[in-house]
Amino acid sequence: MGENVYHGHGGGIFGFASQILFSRPHRIGAIVLANLWPYPMIQSLTVRILERLLGNPDPPPLTPPALNPTDHDSSRPVAADAENGTDDRAGLYVAEPGVPVHVAVRAGQLRLEISPLWPYPLHTGGVLEPTDNPLAFRIRGGRGAGEVAVFEIDDRDVATGFTLGGFVYRRMM
């Protein structure tokens, strides 16, 4: 934020959210817990606390992330269609407690995109890069950067879901 660089991690499960941030040069950190998940303002709240602790009299305001952040593609799901360049993994997937993500093909890349159905970008904004395992893809960019998504397929070779970051996403369409 400004001249301050914070490192950390956030997460949670249904019922609570957490955010941990620290400034290495200042040797200070903050941990924020909320009894609500998702809580989209938890990161801005944690940054605000650190900025105040570091003497910033005018820390950034508490603002939720934009409904469709500009660094996250937003889309409506498109059914798989080989003739039009889509992928059989493309579609709408939902993880408990109802968190949607769209798997889409953009410029020849399989991507995780934010759904207009949900303002919280849990695992969006990344490109699914192939690995040696044809069902596993490493996420490049976005909130899931570095994690591996592993797809499940049925006996017709159709994707039925995938796991990512401890979440199980089930295909809805």
| pLDDT at residue 131, rounded to an integer | 96
**Highest mean pLDDT: which range of 58-62, 78-82, 153-157:** 153-157
Domain that holds residue 127: 82-171
pLDDT of 134 above 50: yes
Mean pLDDT of 43-67: 81
Structural domain contains residue 133? yes
Identify whether residues 40 and 97 lie together within a single domain.
no
62 domain-assigned: no
Residue 127: give its domain's CATH number: 2.40.128
- How much is the mean pLDDT over the chain? 82
158 and 86 in one domain?
A: yes
Tell me: do 148 and 91 sit in the same domain: yes
Report DSSP letters for 7-64, one per residue.
EEEEEEETTEEEEEEEETTTTEEEEEEESSSS-TTHHHHHHHHHHHHTT-SSPPP--P
Q: Are residues 24 and 93 in the same domain?
A: no
Q: Is residue 162 part of a domain?
A: yes
